[in-house]
Structure 1
Amino acid sequence: MKLLNTIFNRTTEKKSASASELRRGPARIRGRYDAAQTTNENQKHWAAADGFSADMAASPEVRKALRERSRYEVANNSYARGIVLTLANDTIGTGPRLQMLTEDACLNREIENEFSSWSQSIGLAAKLRTMRMARCQDGESFAVLADNPSVGHPVQLDLQLIEADRVTSELSFNQSDDEIDGIRLDAFGNPVSYRVLRYHPGGAALDYQQKAVIIPASSMIHVFRSDRPELHRGIPEITPALGLFAQLRRFTLAVLTAAESAANFAGILYTDAPATGEADAVEPMDLIELERNMLLTMPGGWKMSQLDPKQPATTYAEFKKEILNEIARCLNMPFNVAAGNSSGYNYSSGRLDHQTYYKAIRIDQAFTASNVLDRILQSWLLEYSMFRGDRFASLPTHQWFWDGMEHVDPYKEANAQAARLKSKTTTLAYEYARQGRDWEEELRQLAREKKVMTELGLIEIKPKPAQESFQESNT
């Protein structure tokens, strides 16, 4: 009864409050978002907007269509191929270099040398560039850490790349709640295992049963750009530019077709006489053979004029420039890098655009180091420690070096570097790291070079002044 009285009293209070609000009149709306309004002018523009979750928006069917179109465009569009290649080359370069930072200097050099030798034996740099290209055109990249007896190194760990098409769920009407297109998750949303098809679904092998293997998450490296929370599969990074790539190719073909059509006609006959006027009969679309250095007479009432070609239009270059600038924006790439053309740039504008681009490259390199290279190093050290007889309790302190970004004016950069070192606002380690080099190895190399030059007599050893020698002997 007390519960019923409480509910009844609350209902009565709400009714009385509503009645009082009606007596006061309608409440005023003090704010409104214009973008949230649906009008006759914008309803078509927002017709495709939806409230899907991240995984539902990137459903297997959607990602399949985006992958196929992205691969087609990269394979057939020279600008698309160049942009993807440039992004991979600038991000990975010749490959990362490892520097160990433990207390044991001898162990650090040993691990660095062995890891470098192993990286070359498996082609790590080339595989990392392929993974970066796959992230751009496929949306995600997968790599399996597995043993390979063909590796020419005592550590026979290998990085086996697989395409995103092979990671998929089993065909079933009742999809599991803890699986997202081949990725099984735990209660906290962490990947537990990956279902990988033995054969590519678009390959020559016919596998109607879609046989698959389950790979634990500890042996799988899966990287993609997560643009939304709770997203477990990636979409191509050039997705916003796919339509623009198509427009660029269509416009180029349209300009070329118009120019060819104009060039196919040497001249055209026209008459000022009305349709019922007097003029000699001329067959429509009749051809008149022209000879060099000859005077021609036209049929009575007809004149001949050369066709004025209007293509290629002067706006063609401007259109390509603007659309390429828009295409490259989704990748944080400046126009001159995407187009491979800096003719319209001066020194200041080129440097300003490259600063934003290099910052994006550094962020991507840090992402690759933490999500790919650290995973590889941890597995590599686990196998390498078996040969040494000891194990690392955790991943030792280390850092990765990448190729440095070349300065447009090396003379100015050298002067600025010397000023920073002189004012103690930087260190040798930082300056060498900017160039992608290990400062300890570089200093050892300088010492070796100085020693050899001294032995060969290439460095003149100046004797100390007598006064300085006398003062040093007294002290």
Structure 2
Amino acid sequence: MNLLDKAISVVSPERALKRNYARRKLELLNSGYSNGGASKRKKSMLGWIFKGGSTKEDIDDNLDTLRQRSRDLYMNTPLATGSLKTIRTNVVGAGLRLNAQIDYEFLGLTEEEADEWEAAAEREFELWSESLMCDAMQMHDFYELQQLAFLSFLMSGEVFALLPYRDNPQNPYSLRVQLIEADRVCAPPGNNPNIINGVELGKFGEVVAYHISKQHPLALSSSRNEWIRIEKFGKKTGRQNVLHLMESERPEQRRGVPILAPVIESLKQLDRYTEAELMAALVSSLFTVFIEMEDSGYDGPPLDDAIPEQEQVDHDDETSYELGPGAIVALGEGEKATTANPARNNASFDPFVVSICRQIGSALELPYELLLKHFTSSYSASRGALLEAWKMFKMRREWIAKRFCQPIYEEFLTEAVLLGRIQAPGFFNDPMIRKAYCKAEWNGPSQGQLDPLKEVNAAIKRVENGFSTRTKETVELTGGDFWRNHLLRIREEKARRESGLDAKYEELQKEVREGDED
């Protein structure tokens, strides 16, 4: 207590008590987050309207609007379309390819036996995956299904895949992949508290089933809609009937959010801005002459046909005057044309758009150089942007391989073993043996190089110093398979030696060296 407070306490104890109480209250208000982001006194925070809620209030109740706006942006906004396709192309590309990698040591196999088994499994998988019969709709092969599923996940925030069995005489395998758009998984009529937005929960909050409408909820149809209930895991077999591809943001979240959700407003406003600038530039490029008439006695040729009828926007509206390149428009009696000339060279347009694109790219984990396909910086800056984007691409690639490709491969392998087309002793007896047989890698498009020579030299150094392997570097540089390349190179070199090409090349090199010495 300072001297002033002591003096006041002697003269007026009640007033001193109020001062001390106010001081304590002020200390509490100015402590921790109450003096920062949680402040309710600062003017900068008074206009912040916020309201928290559970995942149902914050996410589930807004999903319908978010999905439709996200799809509208994809269909009508170039920047949104480009961002989603860029992510799709770099993550999945032409499709992730199977590279079987069984745990041969645990299975008691030699390396040669493991190589033979893996080659046989990959050959059988190609028979199924490269056929349209793997698709329940018989429209896509497995690699195209990957592209479609991932793009739908980006656009809608989630996508579902059913794994039914349907016989077909053209293919020995009955496994099919049926993609379901997110909207079709919705709650049927009724007030079942265990069904949240089409996802049925069990006693402990686990997902037990999905409710799928037979018709798309947004489809224009007069027929009565019906729902089917599909359990996530089969009761007898335990197999996964439904694959749910979504990215969770919060615990207890049951449905996915479109990746464009945080930038929907920015993308829409930027689209409106660019459209306005485009229209302003178009109007500025049109030179139109207006003829003012004091009376209606003009009997010359019509002056409003400078714009051909088929090119006029609103020919039937007589009160509409249209601008056109070199157009001459006659005004009515007493009318006068006043132009609002938007002619300007908006020098701030490009910097402003780039600034907004940086923010959008940050939210999407996509550097603006890649977002706009605009590489004008230095080699180091461009490479840094690509490396930063590649972190996101690799993460999403591993995610879709784990959530989509691997479960489907395991279902395929199960059917192949049941049919006797692949031999896997103990596959159904021990889950560890089953896991050892199902191990695999999924390889996609390589990162690409800005300077191939530097990238190759760096890869050579990593291999020579034991920091990496030829197999890994081959995948990262070209997306290829080192062992297949190795066997093919053996055949190529053998053919060159038998043709005498290597000898001729060595002789030519020797002549060049001798010429340099002279």
Please give the range of the TM-score, normalised by the shorter of the 2 chains.
Answer: 0.7 to 0.9
The match for 2:346 is 313
User: How far is 1:74 from its partner?
Assistant: 0.7
User: How far is 1:325 from its partner?
Assistant: 2.1
Paired amino acid for 1:243? E
Paired amino acid for 1:119? S
Paired amino acid for 2:159? S
The match for 1:233 is 255
Contact 2:263 2:360 (C-alpha < 8 Å) held by counterparts: yes
- The within-5 A match list for 1:67-466 is 67-102=67-102, 103=104, 104-121=114-131, 122=134, 123-150=141-168, 152-172=170-190, 174-176=191-193, 178-217=194-233, 218-263=240-285, 309-342=342-375, 344-388=376-420, 390=424, 392=427, 393=430, 394-395=434-435, 396=437, 397-434=439-476, 435-460=478-503
Give the one of 35, 38, 44 matched to 1:36: 38
Q: Deviations over 1:325-366 (max 9, x none)?
A: 222222111112211222x32211110111110011001111
Equivalenced residue count is 409
Taking the aligned partners of 1:454 and 1:262, their CA distance within structure 2 comes to 69
Instruction: Provide the secondary structure at the position in 2 that maps to 1:330.
Output: helix
Q: 1:93 to 1:460 in 2, by over 3 A?
A: same
Q: Deviations over 1:94-130 (max 9, x none)?
A: 2112222232221111001221332211412211111
User: How far is 1:443 from its partner?
Assistant: 2.0
The match for 1:56 is 57
Q: 1:424 to 1:195 in 2, by over 3 A?
A: same
Taking the aligned partners of 2:75 and 2:202, their CA distance within structure 1 comes to 38
Q: 1:349 to 1:449 in 2, by over 3 A?
A: same
User: How far is 1:309 from its partner?
Assistant: 4.9
Instruction: Provide the secondary structure at the position in 2 that maps to 1:229.
Output: coil
Q: 1:312 to 1:132 in 2, by over 3 A?
A: farther
Q: 1:263 to 1:107 in 2, by over 3 A?
A: closer
Q: 1:152 to 1:78 in 2, by over 3 A?
A: farther
Q: 1:78 to 1:166 in 2, by over 3 A?
A: same
User: How far is 1:23 from its partner?
Assistant: 12
Paired amino acid for 1:247? Q
Instruction: Provide the secondary structure at the position in 2 that maps to 1:227.
Output: coil
**Which segment drifts farther, 307-316 or 243-252?**
307-316
Identity %: 25
Gaps of 5+ in 2: 1-16, 105-113, 135-140, 234-239, 295-302, 304-337, 506-518
User: How far is 1:72 from its partner?
Assistant: 0.9
User: How far is 1:39 from its partner?
Assistant: 4.5
Instruction: Provide the secondary structure at the position in 2 that maps to 1:336.
Output: helix
User: How far is 1:62 from its partner?
Assistant: 0.9
Kindly report the root-mean-square deviation, in angstroms, between the aligned alpha carbons of the 2 structures. 3.2
Paired amino acid for 1:365? R
Q: Deviations over 1:210-258 (max 9, x none)?
A: 3334243411111111111111101111111111111112112222333
The match for 1:468 is none
Q: Deviations over 1:361-420 (max 9, x none)?
A: 001111111111121111111111112265624232322222211111111111112222
Instruction: Provide the secondary structure at the position in 2 that maps to 1:231.
Output: coil
Contact 1:142 1:164 (C-alpha < 8 Å) held by counterparts: yes
Q: 1:399 to 1:188 in 2, by over 3 A?
A: farther
Contact 2:128 2:173 (C-alpha < 8 Å) held by counterparts: yes
Contact 1:166 1:200 (C-alpha < 8 Å) held by counterparts: yes
Instruction: Provide the secondary structure at the position in 1 that maps to 2:222.
Output: coil
Contact 2:188 2:227 (C-alpha < 8 Å) held by counterparts: no
Q: 1:43 to 1:375 in 2, by over 3 A?
A: same
Instruction: Provide the secondary structure at the position in 2 that maps to 1:236.
Output: coil
Q: Deviations over 1:242-300 (max 9, x none)?
A: 111111121122223334454557699xxxxxxxxxxxxx98xxxxx9xxxxxxxxxxx
* TM-score (ref. length: structure 1): 0.78
* TM-score (ref. length: structure 2): 0.72
Taking the aligned partners of 2:445 and 2:80, their CA distance within structure 1 comes to 24
Gaps of 5+ in 1: 1-20, 269-281, 284-288, 290-304, 463-475
The match for 1:3 is none
